[in-house]
Amino acid sequence: MITKKVSIHQWIKLYAGPDVELHFRYAVLLNQICVCFTYGLALPILWPITLFGLINLYICEKLQFAYFYKQPETFGNELNKIGLGML
């Protein structure tokens, strides 16, 4: 590709994807699961819909992390423990 950038750092900054914001991903995941658990007994069709949504979310996230986003910062297990505690 031909650009007017004069250094490798400028080129990488131009073509690198956005930063990863994990708190939005946890919010979507917890929202899907909580809605399914809340209304799943009254609407049994919600269980397969939620399963499809979670599988779709998993596949899309894997592809986005592989090809779109910058390399995420290293996070500890605190975020995972809080998310599991909420479930």
**Over 90: is that where the pLDDT of 2 sits?**
no
Listed in sequence order, the residues at least 6 apart from 3 whose beta carbon sits closer than 8 Å to its beta carbon are: 11, 14
Model pLDDT for residues 30-43, shown as the tens digit of each residue: 999 999 999 999 99
Question: Is residue 52 very low, low, confident or very high in pLDDT (cuts 50, 70, 90)?
Answer: very high
Q: Is residue 23 part of a domain?
A: yes
Q: Is residue 1 part of a domain?
A: no
DSSP 3-state of 49: helix
- Residue 40: domain span: 18-86
Question: Is residue 1 very low, low, confident or very high in pLDDT (cuts 50, 70, 90)?
Answer: low
Q: Is residue 60 part of a domain?
A: yes
Q: Is residue 9 part of a domain?
A: no
| Rounded (10°) angle between helices 22-39 and 78-86 | 20
Q: Is residue 2 part of a domain?
A: no
Q: Is residue 4 part of a domain?
A: no
**Structure confidence at residue 73 (pLDDT):** 67
The pTM of this model reads 0.69
Domain total of the chain: 1
Q: Is residue 45 part of a domain?
A: yes
List C-alpha distances in Å: 81 to 21, 47, 63, 86.
17, 25, 24, 9
Q: Mean pLDDT over all residues of the chain?
A: 84
